[in-house]
Chains A and B, each alone.
Chain A
Amino acid sequence: MEQRSRDVTRRRLLKAAGALAGVSAIGGWSPARAQGANRVVLGTWGGDYSKLLAKNIDTPLMVPRKYEVVHDIGGDAERRAKMRAEARLPRGTSDLQGLSAAQMFEMNEAGLCLPVDYAKIANAQYLLPQMKYPYGVGHIYSGKVILYNPKLIATPPTSFADALDPKHGAKLGIIDIQYQFTMMAAAIASGGSMTDYEPGKARLMACRKAGAKILPTNEAMAQALTNEEVGICIMWKARAVQWQKAGAKVETVAPKEGIPLYISGFVIPKNAPNKDGAHVWLNEMLQPSAQEAFAEDMGYNASVINAKIPLETEKRIGFNADERKRLIDLDYGYLAKNDAAFKEWWDKTFKG
């Protein structure tokens, strides 16, 4: 009797599963499809950035508009490779991709980005001119500054030349994934320019020979600074603010050669399934409330002029009038053209 009862239950279960599968097959129903038009898939870095996008944009601004935002989390390299791999498909798998300005340029050069329809983004009228690209929208920005621990570095540095100096030996830390900005900083410290990184190579090699530590990621550098294994490095001011909050005893200095801009933004892949939804998300990304929250939570500067950043926060994360004059943008064309050669030199000669 008991056995029979189990059989019946199993049969019922199978019938129910079969019926559900049948209904799904006939109607093409699935939770994802049901929300298709109101679903936005966002390619982004993981960690804090993804969490803050959800906290400051997706949940408070997109959900009330009946949008579901799904994060496709991964490093920018993997996501760029995915964009390239999906280029031949009529429908891609993401509606937006979070990239740096240099990477947005590179993806556009590869013909993978949809021109942004600024008519659909009302908040774009408040966008800083440097953050407005035909193929993407800048979300946040910061500048490359010098970080140093006064306990380990007696003389405060004032320039990239002071920071990227072989005299620091193993106290100097260099982040592997920041090879472009490191080469650029070394270049402008050695008589080079945004369109000529060659003069910086000798300086970097001298630092390497003197024992400079190469750390794999930004996070590894944060740990090395906190542990006092590293006393000086170059990094975004926003990250310095985060690391200071986390306990790293570092000061920041805006280099006198200039403060290279780091801009993070979003592009819409040409084959994005929900292009309208992507524009809606970009508009919400530029809402003052979202921008203010990002400045507070992550230490990056707002890309819109109507965000009201508290004075105290502005002082901590921003740049004063004199420093603002020294903000310099990268030559993305030069970078895109030479990036493969730079990486090859970095891997084979500098690290090799």
Chain B
Amino acid sequence: MTTTAQPPARERAPAWSAAAMMTPAAIVVTIGIVLPIVILFRYSLNRYTPAKVMVDAFTIENYVKFLTDPFYIAVLLRTIRVAALCTAICVALAFPMAYCLARTRSRFKNLLLMAVILPLFVGNAVRAAGWMVLFGNKGFVNALLMGLGVTRAPLEIMYTELAVVIGIIAVNLPFVVLTLQAVLEGIDRPVEEAALGLGASPLRTFRHVILPLAMPGVIAGTILSFILAMNAYATPVLLGGPTFQMMGPTVYNQFAGLSNWPFGAALAFVLMTATLVLTVASNWLAHRGYRR
């Protein structure tokens, strides 16, 4: 006598229970994200007057101002350049780290993982403050370089693009490492061993076996790092200083410094749209390349 295995009736989740589980999160998202975005978009169509800050209107002049002003276009392009550079370096640095973490059988694996997570315990601003101590004219880096006789005069590191790129990489790296490590853990070791056993070199194994299988992690890590870098605030302000301007601080400056809420809202929307479009485009390109 054979019996057909049927899942017990209690295990089948009714549709209403799924809806019940999603409702609280949906409410939080609606109130906490969607509603402010809608309000912000409405603000971006208002008009700015210094005395009243915002006058109700229905104009696209704030967007026109952005698109026709070379200064703001330059700020956006600089932000995209820095975000792309930081993301590329993060992925390049994170992959070997994540691979080692995923493959190690050391009893210190948990400690190594903690070492990756540890920087996330400290806020961005505090970490940037640490970099400020290192990068100053009389900071550790310059003292070391001058002490070793590498340079005669202190290098200008603070308030430069280099300082911002280093700071953002330091913030984003743990996120990318953890994302990649989770995916690499899921790739069976015998798959690599089979490729090596069939005569593939380690580089070929990486290119044709590991990388394609790890691609979902690479894409996720890239997206995460790119979004974080595009919207970076504390690091550009503290390490970039007054002359290195990125979109995050520029948006804030319009709201808090100039009280120009309509233009600040328009800038926020431009930043959000640019991030979204570039993320979707890079995701699409990566998937296309991956399928080939």
Contacts and interface: CB of A to CB of B under 8 A. Distances in A.
Contacts of B260: 340
B63 interface: no
A229 B155 CA distance: 12
A7 interface: no
B52 A343 contact: no
Given A215-B241, A343-B258, 16 more contacts: A77-B257, A81-B259, A84-B53, A109-B51, A176-B241, A214-B242, A216-B237, A227-B138, A337-B50, A339-B50, A343-B257, A347-B71, A348-B69, A351-B245, A352-B74, A352-B245
A339 B48 CA distance: 13
A344 B136 CA distance: 28
B242 A215 contact: yes
B256 interface: yes
A322 to B, nearest CB: 35
B206 interface: no
A336 interface: yes
Interface string B45-58: 00010111100000
Nearest to A77: B256
Interface string B222-240: 0000000000000001000
Interface in A84-123: 84, 109-110
B242 A216 contact: yes
A150 interface: no
Interface in B36-69: 48, 50-53, 69
B255 interface: yes
Contact of A347 (B136, B245, B256): B245
Contact of A214 (B53, B136, B241, B253): B241
Interface string B10-54: 000000000000000000000000000000000000001011110
A312 interface: no
B259 A347 contact: no
A80 interface: yes
Interface of A: 75, 77-78, 80-81, 84, 109-110, 176, 214-216, 223, 227, 229, 336-337, 339-340, 343-344, 347-348, 351-352
Interface string B72-101: 001000000000000000000000000000
Given A110-B52, A337-B50, A351 B257 contact: no
A340 B50 contact: yes
Contacts of A343: 257-258
Interface residues of B, number: 23
Given A110-B51, A227-B137, A347-B253, A340 B258 contact: yes
B2 interface: no
14 contacts: A78-B256, A80-B259, A81-B255, A81-B259, A214-B242, A215-B242, A229-B137, A340-B48, A340-B50, A340-B258, A340-B260, A343-B258, A347-B71, A351-B243
B160 to A, nearest CB: 13
Contacts of A347: 71, 245, 253
Interface in B139-167: none
Q: State the main secondary structure of chain A at its contact with B.
A: helix
A347 B50 CA distance: 17
Given A75-B256, A81-B259, A352 B71 contact: yes
Nearest to B250: A347
For the complex of A and B, 9 pairs with smallest distance between CB atoms: A176-B242, A77-B256, A348-B71, A214-B242, A81-B256, A351-B243, A216-B242, A77-B257, A78-B256
Contacts of A348: 69, 71
B26 to A, nearest CB: 27
Interface centre among A227, A344, A347, A352 (most CB of B within 10 A): A347
Nearest to A75: B256
A229 B142 CA distance: 14
Interface centre among A109, A229, A348 (most CB of B within 10 A): A348
B259 A84 contact: yes
Contacts of A340: 48, 50, 258, 260
Nearest to A349: B71
A229 B256 CA distance: 30
A106 B74 CA distance: 31
Interface in B108-159: 136-138
Contacts of A336: 50-51
A98 to B, nearest CB: 16
B171 to A, nearest CB: 19
A351 B240 CA distance: 12
A229 B53 CA distance: 39
A88 to B, nearest CB: 11
A81 B243 CA distance: 24
Contacts of A214: 241-243
Contacts of B137: 227, 229
B74 to A, nearest CB: 8
B109 to A, nearest CB: 36
A82 to B, nearest CB: 9
Contacts of A110: 51-53
Contacts of B245: 347, 351-352
Contacts of B74: 352
A77 to B, nearest CB: 4
